[in-house]
């Protein structure tokens, strides 16, 4: 086995500790359920008169969801509940962030599309996981004329103390922040706000996003997920068997064509 792969025997005590912690942790997060949230951006008390912002459409491409589960339960694949959570979190974030003085006569309309969403999980060091999502979004005026159109990638990974649900939430927060900050900028008067920078863990290109993600997922040699019972035969196998290693095909999270 190559030297850069984790040693199963050396990692086993830590693995057992994390497993015990996971038993008492959040079952929903462990199984990959995402949640809703509100980001409080800095314009609520601003004197600026900003256009009303509407979420005109929120969709996912039919083939958006991809899952690589290495010797663990196949939990957490992106689904309609995740899409609804992102949409509602974006609505709530904009509602909490818009100044009280808005211009309802000329709303800014936001459309977003989850083009790809690849989740990779294993059970080494506490359900290691990584996500790469490709998101396209556009802002239009009331007549649907495009004011801005953008495609970006959101990527993150977790090791040791983390769950699939928390990992998904971190990526969703990044997606919501990017769209919300950009929409607020476009809805404001020219020159009133600075052009927002890409949030952390957000990337303009596939290549840059992938460079921040693990190339391989390493798992214990038996199908196991922290939180499951740990029988003696599993302990024996973990102590004597090599890890299973799979290369992550991140290219599956790269759309075949550009946005229209």
Output the DSSP codes for 86-142: HHHHHHHHHHHHS-S-EEEEEEEEEEEEEEEEEEEE--TTTT-EEEEEEEEEEEE-T
Q: Is the pLDDT of residue 157 over 50?
A: yes
* CA 172, chain centre distance (Å): 5
**Mean pLDDT confidence for 185-192:** 78
Contact 173, 38 (CB under 8 A): no
Write the CA distances from 177 to 25, 38, 71, 89, 181, integer angstroms.
Answer: 27, 10, 33, 10, 6
**Mean pLDDT confidence for 145-151:** 95
pLDDT for residue 198: 83
For the chain, what is the mean pLDDT? Answer: 81
Using DSSP's 3-state secondary structure scheme, residue 107 falls into strand
Which residue has tokens 């912690």?
A: 21
What pTM was computed for the model? 0.80
Percent of the chain with pLDDT over 70: 71
- The CA distance from 153 to 133, in Å, is 6
Instruction: Pick the closest to residue 257 from 112, 63, 100, 103 (CA basis).
Output: 63
pLDDT for residue 5: 44
Q: Which residues contact 59 (CB under 8 A, 6 or more apart)?
A: 83, 112, 113, 114
- The CA distance from 89 to 100, in Å, is 19
Residue 73 banded pLDDT, cuts 50, 70, 90: confident
Q: Is the pLDDT of residue 171 over 70?
A: yes
- The CA distance from 207 to 56, in Å, is 30
Other C-beta atoms closer than 10 Å to the C-beta of 147 total 13
């Amino acid at each position: 086995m190559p030297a850069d792969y984790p040693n199963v025997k050396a990692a086993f005590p830590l693995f057992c500790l994390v497993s015990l912690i996971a038993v008492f942790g959040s079952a929903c997060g462990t199984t990959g359920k995402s949640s809703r949230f509100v980001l409080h951006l800095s314009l609520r008390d601003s004197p600026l008169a900003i256009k009303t912002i509407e979420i005109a459409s929120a969709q996912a491409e039919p083939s958006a969801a991809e899952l690589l589960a290495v010797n663990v339960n196949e939990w957490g694949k992106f689904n309609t509940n995740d899409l609804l959570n992102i949409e509602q979190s974006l609505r709530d974030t904009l509602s909490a962030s818009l100044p009280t003085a808005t211009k309802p006569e000329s709303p800014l309309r936001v459309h977003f599309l989850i083009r790809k969403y690849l989740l990779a999980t294993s059970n080494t060091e506490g359900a290691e996981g990584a996500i790469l999502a490709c998101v396209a979004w556009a802002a239009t005026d009331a007549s649907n004329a495009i004011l801005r159109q953008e495609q970006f990638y959101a990527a993150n990974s977790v090791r040791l103390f983390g769950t699939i649900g928390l990992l998904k939430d971190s990526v969703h927060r990044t997606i919501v922040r990017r769209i919300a900050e950009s929409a607020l900028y476009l809805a404001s008067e020219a020159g009133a706000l600075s052009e927002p920078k890409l949030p952390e863990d957000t990337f303009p290109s596939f290549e840059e996003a992938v460079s921040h993600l693990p190339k391989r997922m390493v798992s214990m040699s038996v199908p196991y997920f922290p939180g499951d019972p740990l029988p003696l035969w599993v302990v024996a196998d973990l102590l004597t068997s090599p890890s299973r290693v799979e290369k992550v095909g991140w290219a599956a999270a790269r759309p075949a064509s550009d946005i229209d």
